[in-house]
Structure 1
Amino acid sequence: MSQAREVIQSLYDAFGRGDAGFVLGLMADDIHWMEAEGSPMASGNPYASPQQVGEGVFGRLLSVFDDFAAVPSEILAEGDRVVAFGRYSGVHKESGEKLDAPFVHSWTLDGETITAFQQYTDTEQHVRLMG
């Protein structure tokens, strides 16, 4: 397994445990984080620090959804690039409606540090549930 793939697998594992400190600690201070076009969270694009990602992305998601998860089904790596295919899930706190959306995440690393992220997902579900 490549080092880059191991780093991204550890990120998803930590996210699943709710270890935000570990996840944010993997990010470069000047990360270039892009949410999918059309997503409610794309209004902050590009997020340019771990703090901005934590507040503008993770904080917003966790304020709207219970049991939010991003679970990869396949992770591919080539050099410093990693692509993960998976699904988002969660339960909208107010309506009880379930989120079940596919995603593709593209990651760029410098050693063990994440320098860039691009999300691709079904933004219609996010818009419908998050407004």
Structure 2
Amino acid sequence: MGLTEDTSPAAVVRRQYLASAAGDLAALRETLAPDVEWTEMAGFPLAGTYRTPEGVTSGVMEKLAQDWENWTAHDDTYVVDGEDVVVLARYTATHRVTGNPLNVRVAHHFTVRGGLIVRFEQFADTALVRDAATS
């Protein structure tokens, strides 16, 4: 992280979305604390809690890229309360096997401390994701 980079919670979260959208997993890992806890919602294809920056990118981002074309999390609205950042967002993608498009609203809750994301929890309409992957 550069000395002039904004380490406010919202700025750190925004860098994570930009890195994800660009497919820059190294830059994404730089936003995550070494002991990060990243939880994908029950019912989501990658449900579970991932730890370490490498665990998050290999267990979540790389797998999404394998199964979905152009997977993007669009960060629309930020609600910030101290170290907590809730982002109202949207996932768009096309499933590589079914060819079905995905466009689903989601909410993400981040906790940022010391300029790094220490916790993430996903809230999503998992039925829409499942339907796009299986129908």
In the alignment, what sits opposite 1:88? Answer: 91
RMSD, aligned CA: 1.6
> Structure 1 residue aligned with 2:22, among 14, 17, 23?
17
Deviation per CA, 1:66-121: give whole Å up to 9, x if none. Answer: 11100011012111110000100001112211011111000001121110000000
Query: What is the distance in 1 between the residues matched to 2:101 and 2:132?
Result: 9
Which stretches in structure 2 are left out of the alignment for 5+ residues? Answer: 1-5
Query: What is the distance in 2 between the residues matched to 1:77 and 1:68?
Result: 25
Which residue identity is paired with 1:59?
Answer: E
Query: What is the distance in 1 between the residues matched to 2:132 and 2:67?
Result: 8
Normalising to structure 1: TM-score of the pair? Answer: 0.91
* Structure 2 counterpart SS, 1:82: strand
How far apart are residue 12 of structure 1 and its match? 1.1
In the alignment, what sits opposite 2:68? Answer: 65
Q: Is 1:118 matched up with 2:102?
A: no
Query: Where do 4+ consecutive residues of structure 1 move more than 2 Å?
Result: 125-131
Q: How many residues are treated as equivalent by the alignment? A: 129
Q: Which has the higher helix share?
A: 1
How far apart are residue 126 of structure 1 and its match? 2.3
- The 8 Å contact of residues 108 and 116 in structure 1, kept in 2 or not, is answered as yes
In the alignment, what sits opposite 2:11? Answer: 6
In the alignment, what sits opposite 2:55? Answer: 52
Query: What is the distance in 1 between the residues matched to 2:15 and 2:35?
Result: 21
* Structure 1 counterpart SS, 2:72: strand
Query: What is the distance in 2 between the residues matched to 1:88 and 1:60?
Result: 15
How far apart are residue 29 of structure 1 and its match? 1.2
